[in-house]
Amino acid sequence: MSIEKNISLESLSIGYGSGSKRKSILSNLNLFIRKGELLALVGSNGSGKSTLLRTISGLQAVLSGEVIIEGKRIDAWSRKEFAKIVAFVSTEWIHISNLKVRDLIALGRYPHTSWFGNLKTEDHKYVNEALEMVGMSHKAEDYFNELSDGERQRIMIARTLAQDTPIIVMDEPTAFLDLPNKYEIAHLLFRLSREKGKTILFSIHDLNIAMKEADRIWLINDRQLIEGAPEDLILNRELIKAFAVNNLEFDISSGEFFVPRKKGISIALLGSGERFDWTKKALERLEFDVDCNKSGETTVLVDDLNKQWIATINNNSVTCNSIYELSLTLKQF
């Protein structure tokens, strides 16, 4: 299998400071990223995600070892040429009044334009394509500050597209976004890697999203970096090792983490269908010990047809019209 490496790390140590004061965060990294790969960097706060991303983007010096980008050592690139290879988006939110969306994206053309930064026809073409790619053409003339968080993140991504680099590095692009936007932004990155052949390295806290979109995960745990396809890391229990701490457990079949709940009074649950499934989840959340389709002292019958719940407690039956009503009835008891 031939490998087209876009980025390789060789015996790389990263961290802060210099001389005797230097503090290494991760050391002896030997890794590579393929061209067109979407790679998610996962790890707890302070594990060195940002430091690694900043080092690969040339914003921070390596402590030892090498970062090789497109076949050339990172310090052998001139700043201007490097800006045509790697684009970077930080976690920092940009708040600039009177800055138009189009002008912000046009800043991506910085390494390609002349001293005065005048845009040529080709530069305008890149800006328009970038706007289209992130689905924001209709907001081109708006002011950046008046956009929603999700829209702003799209514009920051469009800026990297205008920069026209084969590699994009992003530090937590989904942080601070609401749930739909988190999924949409992550999927946008997936599309860019597939449709534009971009090599994208991004850090993310939402493991579920990373597992759904990324080709590969770099997992930092306990000062070690472990890599593999998301599914590999589930099967070899590395993800569980990293995250299943402090009572957090992992459901290997659904691929989800959960907090195991106490089991109190037992309730017999009768019925079937989706209303039944969600009633079971609700009762477990309320810390009941749910027995499915068995009889008991306390029973809940899910009537999927009439959209009703019949709770029987000590031979008294109460009919409820919602799961919330049911939960109140059971709490009284």
Q: What residues line the site for another protein (CB under 8 A)?
A: 57-59, 79-84, 86-88, 90, 92, 94-100, 103, 107-108, 110-111, 113, 115-117, 141-143, 145-146, 163
Instruction: Say which DSSP state 143 is in.
Output: B
* Burial of residue 279, with CB atoms counted within 10 A of its CB: 0-12 exposed, 13-18 middle, 19 or more buried: buried
Instruction: Say which DSSP state 92 is in.
Output: P
Instruction: Say which DSSP state 333 is in.
Output: -
Q: How far is the CB of 100 from another protein (least distance, A)?
A: 6
Judged by beta carbon, residue 130 or residue 326, the one nearer another protein is 130
Q: How far is the CB of 29 from another protein (least distance, A)?
A: 21
Judged by beta carbon, residue 160 or residue 327, the one nearer another protein is 160
Q: How far is the CB of 255 from another protein (least distance, A)?
A: 34
Q: How far is the CB of 273 from another protein (least distance, A)?
A: 37
Going along the chain, which residue ranges are E strands?
5-16, 23-34, 38-43, 64-69, 72-73, 86-89, 167-170, 199-203, 216-221, 224-228, 249-251, 256-258, 266-270, 289-292, 298-303, 308-313, 316-320
In contact, 165 and 171? CB cutoff 8 Å = no
Q: How far is the CB of 139 from another protein (least distance, A)?
A: 10
Judged by beta carbon, residue 79 or residue 331, the one nearer another protein is 79
Judged by beta carbon, residue 58 or residue 230, the one nearer another protein is 58
Judged by beta carbon, residue 18 or residue 316, the one nearer another protein is 18
